[in-house]
Amino acid sequence: MKRNAMTLVIGAVLIVIFALLLFVFQVRQSEVAVVTTFGKPTRNLTEPGAYCKWPWPVEKVYKFDQRVQNFEDRFSQNLTADNNNLLVMVYVGWKITDAKAFFPKFAGGSTLAAQSMLESMLRSAKSAVVGKHPLADFVNADAKQLKFDAIENEIEQAVQSQLQTNNCGIGIAFLGIKKLGLPENVTQTVFQRMTSERQILISRFRFEGEAEAQKIKAAADRQAAETIANADAAATRIRGEGEAEAARVLPVFQQNPELENFLLRISALQQSLNQRATLIFDERTPPFDLFQHLPTNAPSR
């Protein structure tokens, strides 16, 4: 009896496992799935988890890697807007955005077939975008004149537009220019043009420097002229004040010239001795000639 019970339990467990395998499936974090009913896509599953289904041949589940796939196209030659040959290589990252549209577009959801079609679209878009830009947008002595970001965006938008038009179920995650090259017959022309552009930049910087030097010199000359004018005005004012003071004391000086001369010498001597100092002077030089008339037996203090 115990063996029969164990056999029944094991059988029940196997039946449950078999039923789960038939009616339940799992979508992983890195996957996207499409469920077909009698061969036609009916469900698009993008979230991870366990899902129910009818067993084959009613429903069948196809799983695809939804992580970003990347590749590089060929280092191919393209003609720029000014008729120069330019070698360009582009790298691309893409991913499945709609498994329900992706599955019937490519046989059995083949990622190789999707990448092959994407490479074809990329070649066409790259050729068209490069043909709209002159060589100076790719190769230039002035880094500000380069337009890599704009060119990359134009190529990406062109490819993305074709993918949406064809309802491919995939999208571009990133796109960029990886490598640029110049054929030998273009290299010399490019070098000459870069040298010419560099000379233009040198001339422009020299002109700007000379203009700035002229501005600085003009400002310095103007400031010097203003300083000299202010000094002349101050000198004129001081001269006028001195003449006015001289005119004021002249009548007094004329009344008693000897007294006025004596007072002037006393004032000058007072200004010389207003601070404690040691003076070495000639007694014959005014105003120090006053010391010649001091009594020789004057008491010392």
83 and 162 fall within a common domain = yes
| Residue 253 domain-assigned (yes or no) | no
| Residue 15 domain-assigned (yes or no) | no
Neighbours of 192 (CB within 10 A): 10
Beta strands per DSSP E along 18-111 = 24-27, 31-37, 40-45, 49-52, 59-65, 69-72, 76-79, 85-96
Q: What is the pTM of this model?
A: 0.55
92 and 141 fall within a common domain = yes
94 and 32 fall within a common domain = no
Q: What is the pLDDT of residue 92?
A: 93
134 and 76 fall within a common domain = yes
Averaged pLDDT score across all residues of the chain: 78
CB 71 within 8 A of CB 178: no
81 and 56 fall within a common domain = no
| Residue 155 domain-assigned (yes or no) | yes
Q: Give the count of domains, the chain.
A: 2
87 and 156 fall within a common domain = yes
CB 185 within 8 A of CB 143: no
Buried b (16+ CB within 10 A) or exposed e, 31-70: bbbbbbeeeebeebbeeeeeeebeeeeebebebbebeebe
Domain end, chosen from 65, 94, 115, is at: 65
**% of the chain surpassing 90 pLDDT:** 14
- What average pLDDT does this structure show over 251-270? 65
* Domain with 47 in it: 23-65
96 and 37 fall within a common domain = no
| Residue 228 domain-assigned (yes or no) | no
Q: What is the pLDDT of residue 300?
A: 43
- What average pLDDT does this structure show over 106-129? 87
What are the pLDDT digits (tens) for 145-178? 888 899 999 999 999 999 989 888 889 999 999 9
What are the pLDDT digits (tens) for 57-113? 777 877 888 888 889 888 888 888 888 888 899 999 999 888 888 888 887 678 888
